[in-house]
Amino acid sequence: MKLFLSFIAIVFTMVTSSAQEKLPFHEIPATAETYTPQNVLARMVDGLGFRYYWSTEGLQSEDLSYQPKGAGRTCQETIIHLYDLSTVLIRLTKTDFPQKKEKSPMNFTAMRTQTLLNLQALSNRIKISKDVSEFDTTKDGKVTIPLYNLINGPIADAIWHTGQVASFRRSSGNPINSKINQFTGTVSE
């Protein structure tokens, strides 16, 4: 019986790992050959996706419930906020990318997956844009939310909170994978 349960646990771990490897941003995609506003902006999103992938990879329930002393969000609440930021970016950039399910029934794994897919869709949308000014939000022909506000707003906020998740997990005893290279966006195997 113990052998059977061990076998099931190993198969479950392999299936889970295999499924997670198919998510975007395990590594940062190859760099574009030219520097355009679109490529630079998309690279910021790719860097965010890479950091989010590894900050959230392998989180356990004790990591998700971690909260720094005093007031503040738990790790899980921070991850929910990151999902919300990704959906705001999808909406404000008019990226046509439907959410697979409603937010309320999502568990951590589903929310992590959807956040990574949102960031990938956003990056892809930016890369194919003709001009980044199309991401300015306008009303009656006037810019109401310039692209700059997306950069220093939800994009920078998501980078900030992804760093918090990495810090929270380190504090809860589950540090980020030491084989990742944030500088190159790669993983040593």
CATH code for position 70: 1.20.120.450
Q: Is residue 103 part of a domain?
A: yes
- Phi, then psi, of 30 in degrees rounded to 5: -55, 145
Q: Is residue 25 part of a domain?
A: no
Enter the pTM of the model. 0.87
Question: Angle, to 10 degrees, between the axis of helix 75-92 and the axis of helix 156-171?
Answer: 160
Range of the domain at 80: 38-183
- pLDDT reported for residue 13: 47
Q: Is residue 169 part of a domain?
A: yes
- pLDDT reported for residue 71: 79
Question: Angle, to 10 degrees, between the axis of helix 108-128 and the axis of helix 75-92?
Answer: 30
- pLDDT reported for residue 66: 96
- pLDDT reported for residue 101: 87
Q: Is residue 150 part of a domain?
A: yes
- pLDDT reported for residue 100: 87
Q: Is residue 74 part of a domain?
A: yes
> Looking at the chain, how many residues does it have?
189
Q: Is residue 178 part of a domain?
A: yes
Q: Is residue 171 part of a domain?
A: yes
Q: Is residue 83 part of a domain?
A: yes
- pLDDT reported for residue 153: 97
- pLDDT reported for residue 6: 39
**Most distant CA atoms of the chain, gap in Å:** 70
- pLDDT reported for residue 189: 82
**DSSP states along 149-176:** HHIIIIIHHHHHHHHHHHHHHHHTT-PP
- pLDDT reported for residue 9: 40
Residues of the chain with pLDDT under 50: 1-21
- Domain tally for the chain? 1
- pLDDT reported for residue 70: 73
